[in-house]
């Protein structure tokens, strides 16, 4: 069993002010795999104080030097990437091959994209030829609090810490107490890469304790949060008194519009995308809207694909899905499956209970509901598990109406061979991202949503800009340059 009872503050591992042990549960076995300490107000204040003291020096560091330090984090990852994969797999149940190839690899993918964008940042530039003595300067916002979730732990840590460091901010990270091991390993990467003391700090804790203190702390200029919409609202309220910047990346209820002219793999691709990471992705295409003339066949395909998906312990190699993160999540998903049955949706794959042959671990059967009616609970609320809702539609206009009739607006999907239709729908769908025919976003494209999905834009140039202030300077002496 792993014991991690220290926090990383001001360049060193330090004991918490008051020891509050918190077990980390291996969701594959339901057994304790690690013990960490939860921080309190004093620990948070110490981390913020360290970040505040380090800010003047780090913000004045030349961009090239900040780039060099961040490159060092990448070098540390390359030396220890197998450790990272195993930590993620253990703490939140990602199958080891997925943890190795997808979850852990989020770090180098995003980090390299940030470096590419960083090289094109104009830190100070003229407003335009009409105002030659007015300059626009980009400056770090200051001390930032970063609160990250358990479902893609290294994805979110990288999307927040790296642009903050590149922008010249100092930071305090509160990772999820459900999946803290990968973040503590990341802290070791930062230390060994030579990130100056106080520039990066980590305090484990829960939302009510460390999360609330960070959100309301007067010396924290910005909170960047990824998690549930409910928690995002609470953070916004806590941050309001200090007027700090708040960026939120929250939940989703993605609609996948499948037209009769979609390619042969469209339905299977949509099912597997939803089931990936055991459905624990905010951008999962959890509502499959299918044109009526193709609907019956699509339901057959979806049921066949879901029934073929293997569920197994996270340590087992292969392309199976693993458990969901904890008992609370498992219970919630079971409740949604029961609700779907009670409200009259047609269960065509999966269902209640553990998969066959399993009696321990937080495993959910890959589940598909057909004939879901807009307004049903499973159609409205984010389930965050391997549960797909299928809905027929008659016309393109009806599909758009159903897709947009949700509090969320993170990612929507379109499957059609008609290019004009795809382009038209891409503009009509109310979401921060639209992906069509299985094409992923390009490297450095922003990740974020609208409405109850929050309005953060993470990744690439947009991700760096979120940590920068814009200053307008008039009367600049161009001749003095």
Give me the active site residues, please: 249, 282
Phi first, then psi, for residue 379 (nearest 5°) are -85, -25
Do 286 and 383 form a contact (C-beta atoms < 8 A)? yes
DSSP designation for 211? I
**Dihedral angle computed from the Cα positions of residues 411, 416, 420 and 426, in that order, rounded to the nearest 10 degrees:** 0
Compute, in degrees rounded to 10, the torsion defined by CA atoms 474, 478, 479, 481: 120
Biggest distance spanned by C-alpha atoms of the chain: 77
Tokens linked to 394: 């008659």
For residue 420, give every residue at least 6 positions away whose Cβ sits within 8 Å of its Cβ, in sequence order, or none: none
Helix (H) or strand (E) holding 388: strand 387-393
State how beta strands 7-9 and 12-14 pair: antiparallel
Burial 419-436 (b: 16+ CB within 10 A, else e): eebbeebeebbbbbbbbb
H/E element holding 167? helix 153-167
């Amino acid at each position: 069993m792993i014991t991690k009872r220290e926090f990383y503050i001001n360049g060193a591992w330090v004991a918490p002010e008051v020891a509050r042990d918190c077990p980390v549960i291996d969701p594959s076995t339901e057994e304790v795999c690690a013990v960490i300490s939860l921080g309190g107000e004093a620990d948070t204040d110490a981390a913020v104080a360290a970040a505040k003291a380090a800010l003047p020096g780090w913000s004045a560091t030349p961009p090239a030097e900040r780039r060099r330090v961040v490159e060092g984090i990448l070098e540390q990852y390359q030396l220890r990437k197998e450790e990272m994969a195993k930590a993620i797999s253990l703490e939140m149940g990602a199958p080891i091959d997925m943890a190795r190839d997808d979850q852990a690899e989020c770090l180098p993918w995003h980090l390299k994209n940030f470096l590419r964008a960083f090289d094109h940042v104009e830190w100070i530039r003229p407003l335009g030829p009409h105002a030659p003595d007015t300059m626009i300067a980009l400056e770090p916002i200051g001390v930032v609090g970063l609160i990250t979730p358990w479902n893609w732990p290294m994805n979110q840590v990288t999307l927040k810490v790296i642009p903050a460091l590149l922008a010249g901010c100092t930071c305090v990270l509160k990772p999820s107490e459900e999946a803290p091991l990968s973040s503590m390993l990341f802290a070791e990467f930062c230390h060994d890469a030579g990130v100056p003391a106080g520039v990066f700090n980590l305090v484990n804790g829960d939302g009510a304790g460390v999360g609330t203190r960070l959100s309301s702390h007067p010396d924290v200029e910005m909170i960047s949060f990824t998690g549930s919409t409910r928690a995002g609202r609470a953070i916004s309220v806590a941050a309001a008194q200090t007027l700090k910047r708040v960026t939120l990346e929250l939940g989703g209820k993605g609609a996948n519009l499948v037209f009769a002219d979609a390619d042969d793999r469209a339905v299977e691709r949509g099912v597997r995308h939803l089931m990936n990471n055991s459905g624990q992705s905010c951008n999962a295409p959890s509502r499959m809207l299918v044109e009526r003339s193709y609907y019956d066949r699509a339901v057959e395909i979806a049921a066949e694909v879901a029934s073929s998906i293997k569920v197994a312990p996270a340590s087992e190699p292969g392309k199976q899905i693993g458990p969901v993160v904890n008992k609370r999540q498992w219970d919630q998903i079971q409740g949604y499956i029961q609700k779907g049955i009670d409200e009259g949706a047609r269960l065509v794959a999966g269902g209640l209970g553990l998969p066959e042959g399993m009696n321990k671990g937080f495993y959910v059967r890959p589940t598909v509901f057909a004939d879901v009616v807009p307004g049903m609970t499973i159609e409205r609320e984010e389930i965050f598990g391997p549960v797909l809702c299928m809905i027929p539609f008659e016309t393109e206009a009806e599909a758009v109406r159903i897709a947009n009739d949700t509090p969320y607006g993170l990612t929507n999907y379109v499957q059609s061979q008609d290019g004009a239709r795809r382009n038209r729908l891409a503009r009509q769908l109310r979401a921060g991202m639209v992906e069509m025919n299985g094409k992923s976003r390009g490297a450095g494209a922003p990740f974020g949503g609208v409405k109850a999905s929050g309005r953060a834009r993470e990744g690439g140039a947009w991700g760096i800009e979120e940590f920068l202030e814009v200053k307008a300077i008039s009367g600049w002496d161009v001749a003095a340059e």
